A and B are shown apart, each in its own frame.
Chain A
Amino acid sequence: AQSVTQLDSQVPVFEEAPVELRCNYSSSVSVYLFWYVQYPNQGLQLLLKYLSGSTLVESINGFEAEFNKSQTSFHLRKPSVHISDTAEYFCAVSLTSGGYNKLIFGAGTRLAVHP
């Protein structure tokens, strides 16, 4: 079975500071990796995903995540955060075969950006 652990439930940070949201996963088979963001009273939006190829993936709004197979991690980073980045962030995995849309989510990390 697969599982996802997000090591921090809450991360407070000041505006323009760097941030890292940590994600570790456990799986006996190969998986795809995702980061989703959820703003208050909204659904989830895909931030970025790792399917194959380069282990460093980037989103259009400055986030990046690096797949580390040996450490089974997929940490999310941003060098300089904005107030608008305040949201809950979810790391997720899915099977590479027969279950792409069946996501297993971590518990989420609430990012609070302060001025």
Chain B
Amino acid sequence: KAGVTQTPRYLIKTRGQQVTLSCSPISGHRSVSWYQQTPGQGLQFLFEYFSETQRNKGNFPGRFSGRQFSNSRSEMNVSTLELGDSALYLCASSLAAGEDYNSPLHFGNGTRLTVT
């Protein structure tokens, strides 16, 4: 079974631009979560989608947005990029909504975004 796939693997953008990251969950997984990993702030939760609806949201500005499609694939968008947005963005999928306690999060290898 294929794992969580994130594209692209690496991305370089300029301040002020916008970027879209893509995540394909494991087949059959309906929940997709996004995390930002930086050396200074560590791993921080961005948001979670389930059945095309945002279920949870972290403390990030509105420049960070996401969506989920009917096939459970998810995209994350960051507008008006800032230098501080440089990070590894991790996507994770799980089988069901949060009540399935035996359904762990499976992480992708991430997209490394560099903002110059």
Contacts and interface: CB of A to CB of B under 8 A. Distances in A.
A101 B4 contact: no
Contacts of A42: 109-110
Main secondary structure of the interface of B (DSSP, over half): strand
Interface residues of B, number: 26
B48 A102 contact: yes
Contacts of A102: 33, 45, 48, 56, 58
B90 A101 contact: no
Contacts of B58: 102
Contacts of B87: none
Interface string A4-40: 0000000000000000000000000000100010000
Contact of A101 (B42, B105, B108, B110): B105
B33 A101 contact: yes
Interface residues of A, number: 23
25 contacts: A36-B107, A42-B109, A43-B108, A43-B109, A44-B90, A44-B105, A44-B107, A49-B104, A51-B101, A90-B43, A100-B98, A100-B100, A101-B48, A101-B55, A101-B105, A102-B45, A102-B56, A102-B58, A103-B33, A103-B43, A103-B45, A103-B105, A106-B42, A107-B42, A108-B42
Given A102-B58, A106-B42, 11 more contacts: A43-B92, A44-B92, A46-B105, A46-B106, A51-B101, A99-B56, A101-B33, A101-B55, A101-B92, A103-B33, A103-B45
